[in-house]
Amino acid sequence: MYENFSALILAAGLGKRMKSEMPKVLSEICGKSLLEHVISGLNDAGVKNIGIVTGYKGDTVRNHIGSGYSYYNQEKQLGTAHAVMCAKDFLTDGPVIILCGDAPLIDENTLRAFMDFYCDNDLKLAVLTANLENPLSYGRIIRENGSLKRITEKKDCTKEQLYINEVNSGAYIFDAHCLLDVLGEIGCDNNQNEYYLTDAVELFIKNGLRADAYMCDDPNVVLGANTLADLSECERLMRKKINERHMLNGVKMIDPNTTYIDAGVVIGAGTTLYPNTIINSGSEIGCNNTIISSRISLSKIGSGNFIDTSTLEECEVRDFCRIGPYAHLRPKTLIKNNVKLGNFVEVKNSIIDEKSSAAHLTYVGDGEIGKNVNLGCGVVFANYDGVNKHKTVIGDESFIGCNTNLIAPVKIGSRVLIAAGSTITKDLEDDTFAIARCKETLKKRNKNNEE
């Protein structure tokens, strides 16, 4: 039903008020840029044909967002109407939604209700508005006898108009043809000498084209990020929504205010998250896990795991493992079922098979560890010779004693026993007992502790 709607996102501005060199629309909240959030909202609402106006650091913005969109360039940022003018080739047929790239909270439900409002009332222009207790720097909605008349920017308001609480969200639906007709008439005779898209409202009404404002129930969805303070407020509101959705799906949070989950993360029912847990975009967490104060990024976690105060990056942990406290799983690591990794264990680019364990102070780098292997306290995989990285393989059921150094490349067979304190440089066959350390010497102690 919404396929005949297209959407144009205005994203050419620098965002001076952010005090950053980065284009404002690439500022991130909950793991995605503002612009990506706007695009997600449109996609979720079923709007597929999307155009984007870029300008300030346009190449950076385009590279970040990628292909699949029609891009237009606005060389100089002369105002929102001028931005739309730069994309006039996009304004062909049917209704076009225009959104600001810096207002990330607009969601699919709001967009659908807005599109319904436009269709049901047979409009040529609809403006999305909200009632804000503090109308801040938003454009004010001017009505006469209840009917929409125009939008006035804060900087152009009279003293009385500043008290109007109904504000312009910066989201509109226009009939594309009618918009093209009036765009040329918009001037820049205002306080900022900019071409304001908001002036289109008065022009539509003057031309006898049906225009109306749709006020959304939730004022938060219209919030735009102009400063870093706005950005953190948008992030707080989005995080709240994300957490509420997970809790409705059966995820328990001890304190949702200190649980930080990015957009797009999947979490199964029965999982409990303790405070100060951060789960970054691209992660997928199964059911019935307990996760305490950990950071999980781009990782896949199965079910029934207990993860305590640990960092997991670009790795996979299957089911029923105990990780931490203070473990660090680095990229390209696969931990199979029932593995135990305890205090200060670091694993990188390695596979650890079922029921193996490294309970304390161990570094596993570029390793392939079989089933039921025990790595004692302080085992170190010496994987780097200063130039290249090398692999260490350990067969099933082997027992590596405390403080063993495994000098890679090295292959340890199955059921091998290595004595504590050994430094192993040669491959070991299955069922070997290896002891590679100096023999202990015992002497009678003399008064001066001399030999």
Distance of CA 341 to the CA centre of its chain: 28
Please give the residues from 227 up to 256 whose contact with ligand UD1 meets the rule CB under 6 A: none
Our finding on whether 174 is near ligand UD1 (CB under 6 A) is: no
Site for ligand UD1 in 145-164 (CB under 6 A): 151, 153
**168 touches which of ligand UD1, Ca ion, none (CB within 5 to 8 A by kind)?**
ligand UD1
Written as one letter, the residue type at 321 is: C
Per-residue H/E/C for 157-174 = CCCCHHHCCEEEEEEEEE
Kindly provide the b/e burial profile for residues 5-20, where b requires at least 16 CB atoms within 10 angstroms of the residue's own CB: bbbbbbbbbebeebee
Q: Does 74 bind ligand UD1 (CB under 6 A)?
A: yes
Which option in Ca ion, ligand UD1, none does residue 317 bind, with CB closer than 5 to 8 A by kind? none
- Within 343-382, the residues that bind ligand UD1 by CB under 6 A are none
**318 touches, from ligand UD1, Ca ion, none (C-beta below 5 to 8 Å by class):** none
Of the candidates 37, 246, 360, 390, the residue annotated as catalytic is: 360
Considering only 9-17, 294-302, 328-336, 441-449, which stretch makes contact with ligand UD1 by CB under 6 A? Answer: 9-17
Residue showing the smallest CB distance to Ca ion in the complex: 224
In the bound complex, what is the minimum distance in angstroms from residue 139's beta carbon to ligand UD1?
2
Number of residues that bind ligand UD1 (CB under 6 A): 31
For ligand UD1, which stretch binds (CB under 6 A), given 65-73, 74-82, 240-248, 312-320?
A: 74-82
> Which residue, 73 or 249, has its beta carbon nearer to ligand UD1?
73
User: Is residue 64 among the annotated active site residues?
Assistant: no
Long-range contacts of residues 377-381, Cβ cutoff 8 Å, at least 24 apart: 377/402, 377/403, 378/402, 378/403, 378/404, 379/403, 379/404, 379/405, 379/406, 380/404, 380/405, 380/406, 381/406, 381/408
| Residue 138 binds which of ligand UD1, Ca ion, none (CB < 5-8 A, kind-dependent) | ligand UD1
Contact 84, 98 (CB under 8 A): yes
Q: Answer for the pair 96, 67: CB distance below 8 angstroms, yes or no.
A: no
Based on DSSP, count helices (H) and strands (E) in the chain, helices before strands: 7, 39
Sites of contact with Ca ion (CB under 5 A): 102, 224, 226
Distances from the Cα of 367 to the Cα of 316, 318, 382, 409, 410, angstroms = 15, 17, 10, 10, 10
Q: What's the DSSP call for residue 181?
A: H
Interacting residues toward ligand UD1 by CB under 6 A: 10-13, 25, 53, 55, 74, 77-80, 82-83, 100-103, 138-139, 151, 153, 167-170, 196-198, 224, 226
